[in-house]
Structure 1
């Protein structure tokens, strides 16, 4: 892992191959297809315009996988990934020990005709001294030059400007790979999904891990079913930031990081999960 970590720190990204079996990838793709079919019609309006990153009209997307199956935790807390995150997301914090957590959980499959994404960053601030957020892209299908593989610009995690809208960069590269690998990159790195000109599946699990003080994409304290929470280990609860909820008031506690995870508010998915075994 040392070589992989050094590559990440120098170039802003690294591809870890062969972490999942073919059977693993098939299982996770099946879960995603089921969830997309069951929940996508009920998604809130993103208020996007055609061509923006929020436009999901030519892709399948599933959100908040933690509240649909415990199986995903195999990937959320994969030891090879955690080893890298323990370096990248603790550097520069007090004694290199302050926590990070999984603050974004989704999956994406661009469809035939998807034109690819605008180059962008996911950290919110370009060119900061330390890595604030790390993206982990699990390849659940082969990533090829024709089905929407990820484009990125090595070294751009250190740049202090944003990518120019609608432009390619001359140093842009395409990350292709076999299913079962994980592409890990600094969220400051300029990146974007490529166009898909095929009818083939190209599912990717998209995980964002961030330093503890950065807001999540969704509120896990309000969208985690009780039966899912009850199955989580202490470490899994911390990984999702249940100990990072701010105190309600000064009479509850004084520190923003709690010693123990807090229980989420009651929540049920809008539709009953497809099958009981997924609990």
Structure 2
């Protein structure tokens, strides 16, 4: 099948020695956790009439090459800013177990993101972030409800919400590196599906993102996971390409194979 995790005669790409570093993240678009800078880059045509703001965490950053190619294909301008362990949300939304320093840097990054949003001039805001990490919440607080509330709090800050849609990317599946590793270099194990996992385990279904999209009158979710997983299982290799460089970050090579499908989804939903 199209999603069968087969070992091609030439081996999986990228080669194992390069898989863990096959990363499209760029320093000019990425706020490193080592400082509190807000780094934002411009991809595509800087003079385009179509301006898109892309905000997220490392799951956005790994898509930089693909988003740049889409922007160039379509003649768009995409301003991108991403930060590790942080995403564009409302006040006091922090991931669990972060140091106070990382929380403070996330808060500062969000303030800068809010300022960029408030300046306006964008035709859409694209958001992408990891979905498997828990938030630091009071005991008894529902994680999904908290996420929904804090996403809507951030999204409400766009000054022209009726005309500026939120385009939210459904997060990619996750397969633990310990599950994947026995199949790299082992054609039999890979071809037998020994390193695949049930789709409903790989793709988070407790996220509050869908509820936030449903409650915002001008928000939409796009999802390319059908091009990553079969209806019932997810594999670490698709089409002879390694999907992941670790537990959950996709390789730049694999994201390149997803680019046409992501481009089609974006074109369909943009105003």
In the superposition, the TM-score normalised over structure 1's length comes to 0.27
